[in-house]
Amino acid sequence: MEVQAKAKWVRTSPRKVRLVARTLRNLPVSEALVACSFMPKAAARDVAKVIRSAQANAENNFNLVKDDLVIKDIRVEPGPMLKRGQPRAMGRLFSIFKRTSHITAIVEDRPGVVKRRSAALPRAPQPASRPTPAAAAAARAAAALTPATTESDEPVAPARPKKPKAQPPAPSASKAPAEGKKTEAKKTEAKKKDDGKKDTKEKKSK
């Protein structure tokens, strides 16, 4: 069943309104209203008013379900034009045409065409966040109820065998007398040098 609503003498040019109406044909009414709310055109507000009026007519006058309504057509016709003028150079008049539009929105009920979500969509995995205070308190209470572990309950690791330390080799008996002979020879040589120095000093003093 078709239901329509009209808006006459809208102070917008038909060309600007047609740009909006062209994108809304064959859309569900709910989606068309959402699209109008996000359009950056001023004519979208006027078109949205007519669509809401047609939806209200279908719901209140003909007992149609508003969720099944689809926009069948949006007609835009030129209305009366207001002629104004702007003075210009040398006494001339520059003409200004203020155009108006007649907007007609036609909605139709199409049960089953509008797809509805039967169940909620599965949520994406949420990033790990900090636990809430209630969850932290519950975790603390659960930890307090669990029995504390004792030394006997804990597993004991087996002890590793210790490696013997390497001992330095003992000095052999053959090296000891040889080292003693070397030191004695050095001492005798030092004594001889000292005796020679004393003799020279005595001779010089005489």
Q: What is the pLDDT of residues 119-168, one digit of tens each?
A: 555 666 666 666 677 777 888 888 888 765 555 555 666 667 777 776 66
Give 3: exposed, middle or buried? Use CB within 10 Å, 0-12, 13-18, 19+: buried
* Contact of 18 with 77, CB cutoff 8 Å: no
Residue 138, both tokens? 């519950």
CA 134 to chain centre: 26
- Taking 90 as the threshold, does the pLDDT of residue 9 lie above it? yes
Parallel/antiparallel/unpaired status of strands 2-10 and 69-78: unpaired
**From residue 7, how far is each of 32, 56, 57 by CA, in Å?**
17, 14, 14
Q: Where are the domains of the chain?
A: 2-109
The answer to whether residues 92 and 53 touch, using CB atoms and an 8 Å cutoff, is: no
* 3-class DSSP assignment, residue 104: strand
Q: What are 15-70's pLDDT values in tens digits?
A: 999 999 999 999 999 999 999 999 999 999 999 999 999 999 999 999 999 899 99
More confident: 195 or 172: 195
Give the separation between CA 168 and CA 105, rounded to whole angstroms.
108
Number of helical (H) and strand (E) elements in the chain, helices listed first: 5, 5
Torsion of CA 178, 180, 184, 185, to 10 degrees: 20
Among 86, 113, 100, 104, residue whose Cα is nearest residue 47? 104
Q: 125: part of which helix (H) or strand (E)?
A: none
In three-state secondary structure terms, 161 is: coil
Reduced to 3 states (helix: H, G, I; strand: E, B; else coil), residue 89 is: helix
Q: How far apart are CA 75 and CA 83, in angstroms?
A: 24
Domain 2-109 has CATH 3.40.640.10: no
Residue 11 pLDDT grade (very low, low, confident, very high; cuts 50, 70, 90): very high
At residue 77, does pLDDT exceed 90? Answer: yes
**54: its two tokens:** 């047609």
